Amino acid sequence: MAQDGRFASDTFEGESPFADSVVQIYRSTKVVKGGRRFSFSALVVVGNRAGRVGIGYGKANEVPQAVEKGIADARKSLFDVSLRGRTIPHAVKGRYGASQVVMVPASEGTGIIAGKKLRPLLELAGVSDVLTKAHGSTSPKNLLKAGMDALLKLRTAESIKSLRGVEIA
């Protein structure tokens, strides 16, 4: 998010339906003969707040370039999320590495009950009411990938009905 409260991609020249949020900036150091050389990595979430979201990771020698590369990477990994109104259709568990994320649908008005690293993924996916719990490692990269795994496992009753070819009362 920019310093003026807007998301970095909320520019007027492109008018893209996608918003982005920088989840984490990493700084790494390489010691060379003349001193220290810094490089930066950015973990970014991009979504349209209507069921399409993706995560990306960009590396560069300056923060703005790393963020731009992360946004470009996230736009390549966009996927659709099955929603039921403002919440998710059913409880789901996602896993990546040593991180586990449990998501449970919530009644209207509950809001997003999630940590600060998982919240942008859910907001930009268009989920407004959900309960989450993270187990295991709380590494931001792994948490986001576990959250993405959970969102990919979501299915609506209509999609299950068409897959199985049965009628649900």
Fold matches, 19-79 and 82-158: no
157 sits in the region (left: phi over 0; alpha: psi -120 to 50; else beta) called alpha
User: What is the model's pLDDT at position 124?
Assistant: 95
Ranges of each domain in the chain: 19-79, 82-158
User: What is the model's pLDDT at position 159?
Assistant: 86
What is the helix, strand, coil percentage profile of the chain, to 5?
Answer: 25, 35, 40
Q: What is the mean pLDDT of residues 80-92?
A: 93
Is domain 19-79 in CATH 3.10.20.30, yes or no? no
List pLDDT tens digits, range 14-58.
Answer: 567 899 999 999 999 999 999 999 999 999 999 999 999 999 999
List pLDDT tens digits, range 108-124.
Answer: 999 999 999 999 999 99
CATH code of the domain occupying 82-158:
3.30.230.10
Residues forming a β-bridge with 43? 24, 57
Q: What is the 3-state secondary structure (H, E, C) of 73-87?
A: HHHHCCEECCCECCE
